[in-house]
Amino acid sequence: MKIAIDAGHGYNTPGKRTPDGSMREWEFNNAVALLVKPLLEAYKGVTVKLTHDTTGKTDVPLKTRTDTANAWGADVLVSIHANAAGNGWSTAHGIETFVYTSIKAGTATYKLAENVNTAIVKTTGLANRGVKQGDLHMVRETHMPAILVECGFMSNKTEAALLKSADYRKKVAQAIVDGLAKTYGLTKGATEVANTNDSKPSAWAKESWTKATKAGVVDGARPQDGLTREEFTVILDRLGLLK
């Protein structure tokens, strides 16, 4: 499964910071994205692509971000943000997650948003502002299910302090991963398999496995893992048996 993770904005993007200037939004967004990546890659069959500039020097254009995810063939995209209300400190607070305006309750994308939003609320204890619809580029121009998570208000003094906390960032990252895992039935194991003899084919299957890998029928990884139905259909397709 290909998962695109996007950290909103760049370090120097105007206005995207706490009212006192003590934290740039990018600092939170990027930190969480970098925590999410290895957590997701611990699941079987999951690869992750980051669509933003992890140095913060460039606020990668939104079109470039969605074009990257679309061209890569991502199965899902999560864009990570911190919220704000007004130009100074405010009382606005809580967690909310956006889907595109045409996404209705009960759809797969909406369910993903619900699962991620609920997981963040549960682990952080912050108020639940719910799943909302919005005409936002990151959820409008993507060709796959896409959500944009607002993980607390930079303009709220209490939540700003949390957003700057390493512990809070870890909690949010884990919650995002938990929501994705619940939605798509992801299972742990990629790391463990790589460290066992299961990473090599059995002697009786070695020759056939090598031929299948060279022919592109399999990717050469996890030779002793069980075969899911969807993996089986991909193999049939690669053999030209599906029309």
Residues 209-226 have a mean pLDDT of 69
The per-residue pLDDT for range 148-200, each reduced to its tens digit, is: 999 999 999 999 999 999 999 999 999 999 999 999 999 998 444 444 445 67
Q: Per the structure block, which two tokens stand in for 235?
A: 């193999």
Q: What is the pLDDT of residue 173?
A: 98
- Let me know: does 220 contact 149? Beta carbons within 8 Å: no
Label residue 242 by pLDDT band (50, 70, 90). Answer: confident
Q: What percent of the chain has pLDDT over 70?
A: 85
pLDDT (mean) for 61-69: 98
Question: pTM to 2 decimals?
Answer: 0.78
| pLDDT value for 7 | 98
| Structure tokens given for 207 | 């020759």
**CA distances to 30, 55, 61, 136 from 58, in Å:** 12, 8, 9, 20
Hey, what are 214's tokens?
């060279």
The reported pLDDT for the residue numbered 236 is: 72
Residue 122: pLDDT band (50, 70, 90) is: very high
Contacts of 19 (CB under 8 A, 6+ apart): 87, 88, 89, 154, 155
